[in-house]
Amino acid sequence: MSPDPTVAAVTGQPPERLRLLAVHAHPDDESSKGAASMARYAQEGVEVLVVSCTGGERGDILNPALAEELAGVEDLSEVRRAEMARAAQILGVQHRWLGFVDSGLPEGDPLPPVPEGSFAAIPLQEAAAALVAVVREFRPHVITTYDENGGYPHPDHMRTHEISMIAYESAGDPDAFPGTGEPWPPRKLYYHLTFHKARLEALDAAARSSGLDSPFQEWLANWEDKPEDADRLTTRVPCGDWFEARDAALLAHATQVDPNGRWFAVPLDVQRAAWDTEDFQLARSRVATVIGADGLEHDLFSGLRVPQSDASAAAG
């Protein structure tokens, strides 16, 4: 990966600094999906902005050590805001709240409707307009988000996918979403592919060969293979050196993460040896990307970077 975080601009103008927008449903999602990649890019000079669509107001306390301490707290929003601020600081990224209310995860059969006024219940175009405004202000070259299934079927994750696709397609259209800023067409959009089978199998095998109890065996035993998943992996971003930052950011969301849980059960050196990348599916692109000998990309900004010699000439 080139250390020069610049992208081609209008002829005769200095190259632009690269910008990455990561769109997530709740605080803590950014630290479990794509965090090491963001930390790497931020350290290399890319501007990285995380958008949290909701405040996570309806999230449960998943850390047993905090369950009793916070049992009487009815509104966790301020707690989660502080956690998010700490995680962003650890990763070296900017952060923005989109301002919508957590829909919660419906339970029951049949599933009840999501609460009135929550993120998944408000009109789609209203939610999308807020993200379009962020895109037009921040002007990202690359957007990361969730696939059409939301990564898992949480209504806020699926709504995050929907508004991300609308923002990618519409932010550059001067006739779309008037009053939300000057048009800006992002160049590429990726889906997170964090929990795909090949990665889990590699981590499972590495854990067991190291004499550890694998936290992935039950997950894999219940895995449902889907034909459409075979070609999803398009991009592997090397970022093993930033796994410590990823885990520290995830632990900063103390209400949401059990520090003794499976996410931390496999030592980082074992993880790095088994699978030292974070993975993505290139879902939309307006540029020709750079494919490696293995048939994959290895940079979210492939096809966008200015060669070092060209960047130096433009700067001079």
Residue 185 lies in a domain: yes
CB 51 within 8 A of CB 23: yes
DSSP 186-204: -SEEEEE-TT-HHHHHHHH
CB 42 within 8 A of CB 252: no
40-85 pLDDT per residue, tens: 999 999 999 999 999 998 888 888 888 777 766 767 888 899 999 9
| Count of structural domains within the chain | 1
- Show the DSSP H helices in 105-242 as ranges: 124-138, 155-170, 197-209, 217-221
Number of residues assigned to the chain:
316
End-to-end CA gap in the chain: 23
Confidence label for 107 from pLDDT (cuts 50, 70 and 90): confident
Residue 204 lies in a domain: no
**Which CATH number fits the domain that encloses residue 38?**
3.40.50.10320
Strands 235-238 and 277-285: antiparallel
pLDDT for the residue 8: 60
Strands 277-285 and 47-54: unpaired
Whether the predicted pLDDT of 13 surpasses 60: no
| Sign of the four-CA dihedral 270, 273, 274, 280 | positive
Supply 66's token pair.
């905090």
pLDDT for the residue 246: 98
Residue 200 lies in a domain: no
Residue entry with tokens 């919660």: 104
pLDDT for the residue 4: 55
pLDDT for the residue 5: 66
φ/ψ of residue 50, rounded to 5 = -95, 130
> E strands, 84-141, where?
94-100
Whether the predicted pLDDT of 231 surpasses 70: yes
Residue 109 lies in a domain: yes
Residue 145 lies in a domain: yes
The Cα–Cα gap between 283 and 226 comes to 18
Q: Distance of alpha carbon 27 from its chain centroid, rounded?
A: 11
φ/ψ of residue 246, rounded to 5 = -55, -50
Residue 110 lies in a domain: yes
Confidence label for 282 from pLDDT (cuts 50, 70 and 90): very high
Domain extent for 181: 16-195+235-315
